Chain A
Amino acid sequence: MNDRILKSIFYLFFLLLFQLIVIEIISFNYIKPDILLIGLVYFTLLNGQIVGMITGFTFGLLMDLFSSGIFGSNALSRLVATFFVGFFSKEDVNEREIISSGFFIILFISSLIEKLVYIFVTSNVDFKYLIIVYVNYGLIPTVATMVFSLFLLFFVRKSEVSL
């Protein structure tokens, strides 16, 4: 395991805590950005599909453990999301190259997939209400995640400029 992976895992732990503590507080109704997913998408694109999937699964389990939800639901949904993201990962990719317009499209689709799997596993809803549930619990948080990721991009670019 190289330094880059260790460093990334450390950041992911930080994002997990941020997601569990800060996001829980600042979230309003359905507007709940998924910071951990942003980190996992970035991590998978940087380190490849297999490492991404294992990390997604592990952090999903940790999230299940900490959030006292249905055990395994986050693990499964994040596993599927990172599996999808893994198809877009390239070898020897630069950290700066990841943050591009492609990243946001991948993040958007992976978030939709993740939410779909999560809703499918956790909620026992009627098919006719699935669209409404999916819009509220899937699409709105995904949009919130996208907005949050734009903020992150802004800070990353700003820090690059200052360096």
Chain B
Amino acid sequence: MIYWLIRFVNSYRQYIIFSILFLTSLLILSLNDSKEISSLRKASFIFYGLIDYIKSPLEDFIYLKTEFETLKKENTELTQQFLRLKDYEDERNELIELLKFEKANPIKLINARIILKSSDPARNKFIINKGRKDGVKLNATVFYSSGLIGYISDLTENYSVVYTINNLNVRISVKNARTDAMGILSWDGEKFKIYNVNKSADVKEGDIFITSEFSSLFPAGLPVAKVTYASQSKETLFYDITALPSCNLSDIKFCLVELTDLEKQKLNFLLNQGE
């Protein structure tokens, strides 16, 4: 019997071992929720934590670097997108402002895009995308809803050069919108100054100066500058006035061009003849 048993075990040992191990596995599986296995699993978590501790720097090295690069790229794209959208929003607001102005003023106007801004601080000028073909005339007034920009100094079929008010050669006859005090506005290469305002006149900081009726180049009533500093000089008979332009020339992207009417041209002709 024993011999037979030994022979049997010897012949089928692999099946016996397989069956024992198989049953052991099933037993372990069935005991998965038991207290002993639970405590063993808790111990396994420590091992797993240890493995995780080892593999984390490796994972960081492989993935975080890639992720960082991807996020950086994504961030750059989003920033560019955001800036583009901001630009579109600014343009939209600007155009809405101009449309409102155009509707409120019956004079014949044309909307133009500023395609180039001169970087010379003493002789500032803009190039706009409207020219003779669009009805633009020499010396036509260029302005924005918030105020005067300048005048057309030169033009081609499709483009025009605008001499802005911050130009050393430009002198504008202006008056205080509140008190009608007259003066001459000019750009000294650094800031706007308003000369020849009599000390007897009433001028305060914050006052708006508009184009006066004496201006042969610009129509009367256009806002030009806002007073930032005004003092009565003891040495002269006039005020010392510093101002800021009503229209922020560095921010705008569009402008309005007045299509010069014949009446104004005729008046200019008569005035020049009189002189």
Q: CB-CB contacts of A59-82 with B at 8 A, as 1s and 0s? A: 011001111101111011001100
> B25 touching A65 by the CB < 8 A rule?
no
Known: A57-B21, A72-B32, A75-B28. A21 touches B54 (CB 8 A): yes
Is A49 part of the binding interface, using a Cβ–Cβ cutoff of 8 Å? yes
Q: Restricting to B40-60, which residues have a CB under 8 Å from any CB of A?
A: 40-41, 43-45, 47-48, 51, 54-55, 58-59
Closest to B37 in A: A71
Q: How far is the CB of B37 from chain A (nearest CB, A)?
A: 5
- Label chain B's interface by main secondary structure: helix
Find chain B residues with CB under 8 A from A20 CB: 51
Known: A24-B55, A121-B29. A66 touches B48 (CB 8 A): yes
Q: CB-CB contacts of B11-29 with A at 8 A, as 1s and 0s? A: 0011001100110111111
Find chain B residues with CB under 8 A from A80 CB: 22
For A25, give its contact among B22, B26, B58 (CB under 8 Å): B58
> A53 touching B54 by the CB < 8 A rule?
no
Find chain B residues with CB under 8 A from A39 CB: none
Closest to B34 in A: A71
> B62 touching A66 by the CB < 8 A rule?
no
Find chain A residues with CB under 8 A from B55 CB: 21-22, 24-25
**Residues on B facing A (Cβ under 8 Å):** 13-14, 17-18, 21-22, 24-29, 31-32, 37, 40-41, 43-45, 47-48, 51, 54-55, 58-59, 62
**Residues on A facing B (Cβ under 8 Å):** 20-22, 24-25, 49-50, 53-54, 57, 60-61, 64-68, 70-73, 75-76, 79-80, 83, 86, 121
Inter-chain pairs besides A21-B55, A49-B14, A70-B32, 12 sampled, C-beta below 8 Å: A20-B51, A21-B54, A25-B59, A53-B14, A54-B17, A57-B24, A57-B25, A61-B28, A65-B40, A71-B41, A72-B29, A75-B28
